[in-house]
Each structure stands twice: as C-alpha cells, then as structure tokens.
C-alpha cells in the first residue's frame, strides 16, 4: 500500500496495518486513528474509552453547531434525500447534491471527523468509477472518509478505496439503499441465518480495511456480538447500547422529521414546533402591522425624511 503526502502508515496488528489514515492533526481534532483508538476492550487501554458520537449534518449552520457542541463524527448521510429533499427513499440523491452539502458541512466543521456517504449508484457499477467518485468527496469537498453500504459483496471495493488512501466507514444491517431488495425498511438479522450473514458481512468489512462500521436496525444481542468480535469501532443506529458509538439523523433528534418515527430515534428537542410557532407569529405580526417596527427600520436624514413624508400620497 502506498502512502500519500500528509498520511502515515500505521504499523501493527490487523486491521490497522492495512488502513489508510491521516496523521493526527492535534488540537483535539478527531481523526481516523483517534476513532480507532476509541474501540472498547483494546488490551492497552486502562479504562473504557468514551463512546463515539456521530450525527448527520447537511448544511453549514448545523455543522457548526454540532461541531461546537463536541460531536466526534459528522456524517453527510444520503438520508438527506429523505429529510432535506423530501424523497421517499435515499435512492434518488445524486453525487452533485451530496457534494454541495459535503462542502457546506466542511466549511462549518473544525473538530469533528467529516464522513461523506456515497449515494446509490455511485459505487454499484464500475469499481474505477466508484474510486473516482470517492476521490471527489475528498479532493473537492474536503471529506476525510467515505461511507458505503454492504458487507461481503463490498470487500474488493473497500480494499480499493483504502488503497487509494480513502478511509472507509462500512454500513450493514438495514441498509436503506437496499429498500427495494428488502421490500421496505425492516429490522434485519432477526433469524439465526440472517444474523450469521451479518456477522460474515461485518468481518468482511473489517478485513477489507474499513476503520469503523455502522450497524443499523439489528437486534441488540447481534450488535453486541459483532462489537465484541471486531477490532474496529461499531457505530449503532437502532442496534442497542453495546456498540462503540451511536449515530442519529439530526432531523430525528431535533423533531424536524415527518412520518414514521423509529423507536430508536429519541427526540431531544421539538424544533419543528418552534419553527411552526415562529412562522405563525411572524405572519400575525406582518398582518397586524407590528412588524417591522420603527426601531427595525432604517431612517433617512431628518431634513430628507420630512420631504419624503410630505410627498407621500
């Protein structure tokens, strides 16, 4: 594996030995190596490392607020197709839309690790094209890693990306880009056979050189088993509390999403309610003429103001 400028090869036991990582930036910046160090149960650790916190972000102000709040990983998820663009699945979002949002999040992020989701279709045909798409996230948009969905069948692609110095976050379980194959958004891995397949998928993602893996909507017990076996951190969403970290879609956390609310999507605020109330108050104030007030208006110089008022019809 070659090393690019600004990158250091990590020596040691697998999986770190085959990973592409950026050097530590210091100043509390979260990097790929610092995420790897947050794996629980590593023998060199004296105490349990802090759980990894990850949230989605799709724009500059949200990224700034989440980054300043100390979130470890900001994911420009393809969930933006649903929560921002209003589609019924993640499938329609394009590379260009993902790039625009990743650039905006980059501008608002100083401390968190920035991960961009590869949209449906951007890595499903030609592997060379998939690498080119992933490179765009890094070169043009400033992402520090990419995420893609799938287990065993993505082994070769993940290895290719890692070889191109692009850190990869895997994603297995309820992978939303498989919605048509699954016949809906359903909890995965509930039978023994399905659980065994997910275990094989997780092993493949790790063996290919991914630095972390999202486990989505799978039984807690299965997530705990995968977490115990892997050497890379697991980041759960609907996968119980035993993962090395957690991720939520920011719109779910803020109460800004519509429709079915999965049971794991804890709502920490009702921003939707605040937005609705503020908009209704604004409409009322405009209708009643109380907005804008004189203090909220610019004023002409006194002598000119008098002329202007006198000229009013």
Site string for ligand KIV, 127-166 (x = CB under 6 A): ----------------------------------------
Find, among 209, 203, 117, 115, the residue nearest to 157 by Cα: 209
| Unique residue bearing structure tokens 């999965």 | 262
The residue (of 40 and 177) whose beta carbon lies closer to ligand KIV is 177
The catalytically annotated residue of 140, 165, 216, 296 is: 216
Active site residue 216: yes
**Is residue 237 close enough to count as binding ligand KIV by CB under 6 A?**
yes
| Unique residue bearing structure tokens 């893609």 | 148
Find, among 180, 171, 124, the residue nearest to 150 by Cα: 171
Task: Candidates 77, 119, 170, 233: give the one binding ligand KIV (CB under 6 A).
Answer: 77
CA distance 57 to 68: 13
Token couple for 31: 């990097």
CB of 3 to ligand KIV, least distance (A): 29
Count, residues in the chain: 313
* Nearest residue to the partner ligand KIV, using Cβ: 77
Task: Candidates 134, 161, 214, 224: give the one binding ligand KIV (CB under 6 A).
Answer: 214
Rg from Cα positions in the chain: 23
Task: Candidates 249, 253, 254, 256: give the one binding ligand KIV (CB under 6 A).
Answer: 249
CB of 148 to ligand KIV, least distance (A): 10
Task: Candidates 117, 144, 201, 206: give the one binding ligand KIV (CB under 6 A).
Answer: 117
CB of 42 to ligand KIV, least distance (A): 24
**Is residue 250 close enough to count as binding ligand KIV by CB under 6 A?**
no
**Is residue 233 close enough to count as binding ligand KIV by CB under 6 A?**
no
Interface stretch with ligand KIV, choices 8-16, 33-41, 77-85, 202-210 (CB under 6 A): 77-85
Enzyme catalytic residues: 216
Tell me which residues touch ligand KIV (CB under 6 A): 56, 75, 77-79, 117, 171, 214, 237, 247, 249
């Amino acid at each position: 594996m070659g090393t690019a400028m600004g990158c250091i090869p990590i020596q040691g036991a697998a999986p770190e030995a085959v990973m592409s990582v950026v050097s530590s930036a210091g100043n509390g910046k979260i990097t790929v190596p610092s995420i790897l160090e947050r794996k629980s149960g590593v023998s060199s650790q004296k105490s349990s490392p802090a759980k990894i916190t990850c949230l989605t972000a799709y724009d500059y102000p949200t990224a700034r607020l989440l980054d300043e709040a100390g979130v470890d990983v900001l994911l420009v998820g393809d969930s933006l197709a649903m929560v921002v663009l209003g589609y019924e699945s993640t499938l329609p979002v394009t590379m260009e839309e993902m790039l625009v949002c990743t650039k905006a999040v980059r501008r608002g992020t100083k401390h968190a690790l920035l991960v961009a989701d590869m949209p449906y279709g951007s890595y499903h045909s030609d592997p060379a094209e998939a690498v080119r798409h992933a490179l765009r996230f890094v070169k043009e948009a400033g992402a520090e890693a990419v995420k893609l969905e799938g287990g065993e069948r993505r082994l070769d692609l993940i290895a290719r990306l890692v070889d191109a110095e692009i850190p990869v976050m895997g994603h297995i379980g309820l992978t939303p880009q498989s919605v048509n194959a699954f016949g809906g958004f359903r909890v995965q891995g509930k039978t023994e056979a399905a659980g065994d397949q997910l275990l094989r998928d997780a092993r493949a993602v790790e063996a290919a050189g991914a630095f972390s893996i999202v486990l989505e909507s799978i039984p807690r017990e299965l997530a705990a088993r995968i977490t115990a076996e892997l050497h890379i951190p697991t980041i759960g969403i609907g996968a119980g509390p035993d993962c090395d970290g957690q991720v939520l879609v920011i719109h779910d956390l803020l109460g800004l999403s519509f429709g079915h609310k999965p049971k794991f999507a804890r709502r920490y605020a009702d921003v939707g309610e605040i937005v609705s109330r503020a908009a209704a108050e604004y409409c009322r104030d405009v209708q009643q003429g109380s907005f804008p007030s004189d203090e909220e208006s610019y004023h002409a110089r006194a002598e000119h103001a008098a002329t202007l008022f006198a000229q009013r019809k």
